[in-house]
Amino acid sequence: MFSKSTVSAPNDDTIISLHNLGKCYRIYDKPHHRLMQGVLGWRKPLYREYWALRDIDLEVGKGESIGIIGRNGSGKSTLLQLICGTATPTNGSVHVNGRIAALLELGAGFNPEFTGRENAYMNAAILGLSHVEIEDRFDQIEAFAEIGRFIDQPVKTYSSGMYVRLAFSVAIHVDPKLLVVDEALSVGDARFQIKCLNRIKSLRDSGVTIFYVSHDVSSVRTLCDRAVWLDGGVMRLNGSVFPVTAQYMEYLFDASETPVDQPATAVDVNIVGELEPMNRAKPVNHWGSHLGSIESAGIHDVLGERRDAFHDRELLEVRIAFSVPHGAARDTLSVAFSIKDLKGSDLIVSSSADSDVVRFDGHTDHYEARFRFENCLNTGQYLLVVALEERAGATIQYYEYIEGAHYFSSVQSKRLFGLFLPSIAQEMHALNGAMEMIR
């Protein structure tokens, strides 16, 4: 039996309060079973129960920014619908304190026969603005949406990007206490997405509570202070954004059927004997069977200085100092690193297992691996992942894995495009009769 939802009033600083929240759907195998259920009532259930959400307890304070992550079907959109009131809970309580501006599925709340102007007025009125307030803000709404003359065309003629532009513009101009954004922004062009994200940041900084759903871990880390990981309708983790998203990325990595081995960058690896303390202030993911084996890790310049910013195409050197884990087989031991962007994507990956010359057969248990390569990363922020691996079988086992051992920036002196900036030889040939090279 479905239990009745109750509402509990939070204090003034609590914007969202969820207690024991659950949503169950009845799945009927045949359409007429729904009608028969109404006749038979409880005596013979003709449906299967599907719990999209179970036992969700969450409180969100004023000015917090919460990122909701999880795979498709994990319950993210259902949670937003319950918060926004477009779906009713099966059990538990939902309380929202203040005006909600929500950007859920594409075109939600728009009448396709109305013009953009009419839909903007209607949505703003539904969200609580008076006609005078809408008049005062309409020029700003129209300017931000950037849809030009289409503002007076029926929205059924709009592209998906135009839908999002107008819906988002209305949402941010109604002075919400809570802004709820689902994956709808993903259909916009890249320039407008950046514009939206910048506006979300400014709203967050002004004290608006942000509830943000995205598959893009990078944007969640950029916009949010806290992350909630939903998995199969239950809350798997709730905490600071970097540790939660790191665990989520690890989960996706483990669940992937993609082979773990990836093409390695050409590097120079040397085993030497110097050790130095590692800054362990910011690792976001740290696990393995022999924690503490990695004694230091960082990215250095050619003079050996550990730095947080590198320019143009200077040489970089990843240094990883470690002790051979107790009981490890040295012939299958490897040390590896990865450079990731803030989305969690591996950009540069290399392992001593890729080299035929690196051996751990010295008369010591302490080594330092050095991987040297040219900085080919465009301007941006990146993080270093380091690991000690056991390569005895087809599946890599980890003695220790540290994500975020070193955060650093790449700064290019010129404005260039693309993620990687390899050295590319350029030539231009004039083809006017006989071929002539222009130097």
Task: Encode pLDDT of 293-326 as tens digits.
Answer: 999 999 999 899 999 899 888 999 999 999 999 9
Structural tokens at position 85: 């009131």
Please state which of the ranges 41-50, 75-84, 193-202, 221-230 shows the lowest mean pLDDT: 41-50
Would you say residue 203 has pLDDT above 80?
A: yes
Position 54 scores a pLDDT of: 92
Under the phi-then-psi rule, with left for phi > 0, alpha for psi from -120 to 50, and beta for the rest, what region is 60?
Answer: beta
Whether 127 and 99 have beta carbons less than 8 Å apart is answered as: yes
> How far apart, in whole angstroms, are the C-alpha atoms of residue 319 and residue 269?
10
Position 255 scores a pLDDT of: 55
| β-bridge mates for residue 349, sequence order | 338
> How far apart, in whole angstroms, are the C-alpha atoms of residue 252 and residue 124?
39
Would you say residue 348 has pLDDT above 90?
A: yes
| Confidence band, pLDDT 50/70/90 cuts, at residue 250 | low
Q: pLDDT (tens digit, 9 = 90+) per residue, 87-130?
A: 899 999 999 888 887 766 555 668 888 998 998 888 888 877 88
Burial grade of 20 (CB within 10 A; 0-12, 13-18, 19 or more): middle
- Of residues 201 and 259, the one with the higher pLDDT is 201
- Of residues 236 and 266, the one with the higher pLDDT is 236
Task: Pick from 23-37, 212-226, 269-283, 398-412 the range whose average pLDDT is largest.
Answer: 398-412
Position 107 scores a pLDDT of: 56
- Of residues 23 and 358, the one with the higher pLDDT is 23
Position 163 scores a pLDDT of: 81
Identify the H or E element spanning 295.
Answer: strand 294-300
- Of residues 316 and 362, the one with the higher pLDDT is 316
Structural tokens at position 353: 């297992």
Mean pLDDT of 131-142: 90
Position 319 scores a pLDDT of: 96
Architecture label for domain 268-411: Distorted Sandwich (2.70)
pTM beyond 0.75: the answer is no
Residue 384's SS3 state is strand
Helices (H) and strands (E) in the chain, counts: 8, 21
- CA torsion sign for 145, 146, 152, 158 is negative
Angle between helices 116-126 and 131-145 (to 10 degrees): 130
> How far apart, in whole angstroms, are the C-alpha atoms of residue 6 and residue 92?
6
Give which of 175, 100, 110 is closest to 140, Cα–Cα.
Answer: 175
Q: pLDDT (tens digit, 9 = 90+) per residue, 7-22?
A: 344 456 888 899 999 9
Position 396 scores a pLDDT of: 84
Ramachandran angles phi, psi of 91, nearest 5°: -150, 170
Pick the CATH number of 14-253 from 3.40.640.10, 3.40.228.10, 3.40.710.10, 3.40.50.300: 3.40.50.300
Mean pLDDT of 141-164: 86
Position 5 scores a pLDDT of: 35
Position 105 scores a pLDDT of: 59
Would you say residue 268 has pLDDT above 90?
A: no
**In the chain, what are the domain boundaries?**
14-253, 268-411
Position 159 scores a pLDDT of: 82
| β-bridge mates for residue 433, sequence order | none
Position 106 scores a pLDDT of: 54
| Confidence band, pLDDT 50/70/90 cuts, at residue 23 | very high
Average confidence score pLDDT of the chain: 80
Q: pLDDT (tens digit, 9 = 90+) per residue, 172-191?
A: 888 888 888 876 666 556 67
Position 387 scores a pLDDT of: 93
Would you say residue 273 has pLDDT above 60?
A: no
DSSP conformational letter for 192 = H
